Amino acid sequence: INLCVFLSVLCLTASCQSISDSQRLFSIAVSRVQHLHLLAQRLFSDFESSLQTEEQRQLNKIFLQDFCNSDYIISPIDKHETQRSSVLKLLSISYRLVDSWEYPSRALAPGSAPRNQISPKLSELKTGILLLIGANQDGAELFPDSSAFQLAPYGNYYQSLGGDESMRRTYELLACFKKDMHKVETYLTVAKCRLSPEANCTL
């Protein structure tokens, strides 16, 4: 009987340690995506401030009719579906969203110090999410065909563009980046909350 009790205590201790490690990893990942989201908001706000009122109005109207490349990545349509999604699903979507920005992020106007931080921070975040995925599943068929998630660059952003077209592409790129970082922040925050059963994970 004493041996059974001892083994049970060991199992509980190992389980608690595992949860503690996951919570630490989640905390780091959430902190990093929060930083990226704030950076995305600042970049977008700074760009909008540089525009004339009429330019802002026209770009807002165009963007509402457009969509982001990352919209091809299937994700929860509202907060209720987000709350019903499994931790692994939320991690998987977050990984794909972050990965989809690895190439486009290089076009966020190089030369600005805050913007130069984006690519390495995305890479760090992607590595962290991958560690969390590994801790939450056995690695089987999470990414059955990774080539399916290699998204093309945002439209013809990397081609030679005229002034107005370049402005529109920059607006779209920054708006989509802000939108996607908000999604990832939401998904990782909800997934992290799941490790604390007593917590209220409502959005």
3-state secondary structure of 78: coil
Tokens 């989201």 belong to residue: 37
Q: Which residue has the higher pLDDT, 158 or 83?
A: 83
From CA 81, how far away is CA 32, in angstroms rounded?
24
Confidence label for 110 from pLDDT (cuts 50, 70 and 90) = low
pLDDT (mean) for 100-117:
70
pLDDT tens digits, residue range 56-82?
Answer: 777 776 666 567 888 888 899 888 899
Task: Give pLDDT, residue 109.
Answer: 56
- pLDDT tens-place string over residues 15-33: 445 567 788 899 999 999 9
Which domains occur in the chain, in start order?
18-138+153-195 (1.20.1250.10)
- Give the global pTM: 0.77
Residue 83 DSSP class: H
Q: Is the pLDDT of residue 127 over 50?
A: yes
Angle between helices 163-193 and 118-136 (to 10 degrees): 30
The Cα 200–Cα 185 span in angstroms is: 17
**What per-residue confidence (pLDDT) applies to 108?**
72
Q: Is the pLDDT confidence value at 203 over 80? A: no
